Amino acid sequence: MEDTIVAVSTAMGLGAISIIRLSGPEAIKIVNKIFRGKDLTKVASHTINYGHIVDGDEIVDEVLVSIMLAPKTYTTEDVVEINTHGGIAATNKVLELCLINGARLATKGEFTKRAFLAGRIDLTQAEAVQDIITSSTDKSLSLFVNQLTGSLKKLIIKLRKDIVGILANIEVNIDYPEYEDAPVVTIASLKQALIPIKEELENLVKESKNAKIIKDGINIAIIGRPNVGKSSLLNKLLEEEKAIVTDIAGTTRDLVEGSVIFKGIKLNFIDTAGIRDSDDIVESIGIKKSIDSVDKSNLTILVLNSNEQLNKDDFKLLDMIKNKTHIVFINKNDLPLKINTENLQDFNVCYGNTISDDGINSLKDKISDLFALEAIKPIDNIYLTNSRQNSLIKLAIKEIDHALDSLNKEVPVDLVEIDIKNAWNYLGELIGATYKDELIDELFSNFCLGK
Ligand SMILES: Nc1nc2c(ncn2[C@@H]2O[C@H](COP(=O)(O)OP(=O)(O)OP(=O)(O)O)[C@@H](O)[C@H]2O)c(=O)[nH]1
Ligand SMILES: [Mg+2]
Render pLDDT for 348-404 as a digit per residue (tens, 0 to 9).
999 999 999 899 999 999 999 998 888 776 544 455 656 667 888 999 999 999 999
Average pLDDT over the chain reads 83
What's the pLDDT score for residue 438?
A: 56
CA–centroid distance, residue 229 to ligand 2 (Å): 7
For the cut 90, the answer to whether the pLDDT of residue 293 exceeds it is: yes
Q: What is the mean pLDDT of residues 410-426?
A: 89
Among 245, 272, 277, the mutation site with the greatest number of ligand 1 atoms within 8 A of its Cβ is 245
- In CATH terms, 150-211+382-447 corresponds, of 1.10.3720.10, 3.30.420.140, 1.20.120.430, 1.20.1090.10, to 1.20.120.430
The CATH fold of domain 215-375: Rossmann fold (3.40.50)
Query: H or E stretch including 216?
Result: helix 187-216
CA–centroid distance, residue 227 to ligand 1 (Å): 5
Ligand nearest to the CA of 243: 2
User: Ligand 1 atom closest to Cα of 353?
Assistant: 31
What's the pLDDT score for residue 449?
A: 35
Q: What's 341's DSSP letter?
A: G
For the cut 80, the answer to whether the pLDDT of residue 127 exceeds it is: no
d(CA 140, CA 100): 18
Q: Give the helix ranges, DSSP H, for 72-186.
A: 87-100, 110-117, 123-133, 136-147, 150-175
**Residue identifier of the C-alpha nearest atom 11 of ligand 1:** 247
Query: H or E stretch including 287?
Result: helix 281-296
For the cut 80, the answer to whether the pLDDT of residue 322 exceeds it is: yes
**Residue identifier of the C-alpha nearest atom 26 of ligand 1:** 247
What's the pLDDT score for residue 206?
A: 80
**Residue identifier of the C-alpha nearest atom 6 of ligand 1:** 229
User: Ligand 1 atom closest to Cα of 234?
Assistant: 15
Q: What is the largest CA-CA distance in the chain?
A: 89
Taking CA atoms, 155 is separated from 150, 197, 251, 393, in Å, by 9, 11, 53, 12
pTM of the model as a whole: 0.54
Q: What is the mean pLDDT of residues 434-439?
A: 50
What count of other Cβ atoms lies within 10 Å of the Cβ of residue 136?
Answer: 18
For the cut 90, the answer to whether the pLDDT of residue 207 exceeds it is: no
What's the pLDDT score for residue 272?
A: 95
114-128, 235-249, 303-317 — which is least confidently predicted? Answer: 114-128
50-54, 84-88, 158-162, 384-388 — which is least confidently predicted? Answer: 384-388
CA–centroid distance, residue 245 to ligand 1 (Å): 6
CA–centroid distance, residue 309 to ligand 1 (Å): 16
Taking CA atoms, 393 is separated from 166, 169, 388, in Å, by 19, 23, 9
CA–centroid distance, residue 262 to ligand 1 (Å): 24
Among 227, 291, 307, 360, the mutation site with the greatest number of ligand 1 atoms within 8 A of its Cβ is 227
Judging by beta carbons within 10 Å of its beta carbon (0-12, 13-18, 19+), is residue 222 exposed, middle or buried?
buried
What's the pLDDT score for residue 131?
A: 38
CA–centroid distance, residue 362 to ligand 1 (Å): 19
Ligand nearest to the CA of 228: 1
5-141: in CATH 3.30.1360.120? yes
- Of 124-138, 166-180, 335-349, 384-398, highest mean pLDDT: 335-349
Whether residue 85 contacts residue 62, with contact meaning beta carbons closer than 8 Å, is answered with yes
CATH 3.40.50.300 region(s) of the chain?
A: 215-375
**What is the CA 356 to chain-centroid distance, rounded?**
39
CATH 1.20.120.430 region(s) of the chain?
A: 150-211+382-447
Ligand nearest to the CA of 308: 1
For the cut 50, the answer to whether the pLDDT of residue 37 exceeds it is: yes
Ligand nearest to the CA of 290: 1
CA–centroid distance, residue 265 to ligand 1 (Å): 27
CA–centroid distance, residue 328 to ligand 2 (Å): 17
For the cut 70, the answer to whether the pLDDT of residue 97 exceeds it is: yes
If one compares 235 and 123, the residue with the highest pLDDT of the two is 235
User: Ligand 1 atom closest to Cα of 232?
Assistant: 15
For the cut 50, the answer to whether the pLDDT of residue 146 exceeds it is: no
114-123, 398-407, 434-443 — which is least confidently predicted? Answer: 434-443
What's the pLDDT score for residue 294?
A: 93
What's the pLDDT band for 193 if we cut at 50, 70, 90?
very high
Q: Helix or strand or coil: residue 281? A: helix
For the cut 70, the answer to whether the pLDDT of residue 11 exceeds it is: no
What's the pLDDT score for residue 121?
A: 59
170-179, 248-257, 300-309, 330-339 — which is least confidently predicted? Answer: 170-179
Residues having CB closer than 6 A to ligand 1 are 224, 226-232, 245-247, 249-252, 273-274, 331-332, 334-335, 353-355
What's the pLDDT band for 18 if we cut at 50, 70, 90?
confident
Q: What is the mean pLDDT of residues 43-51?
A: 94
What's the pLDDT score for residue 116?
A: 72
Ligand nearest to the CA of 248: 1
Strand partners, 258: 269
What's the pLDDT score for residue 377?
A: 61
CATH 3.30.1360.120 region(s) of the chain?
A: 5-141
- Amino acid at the residue 257: E
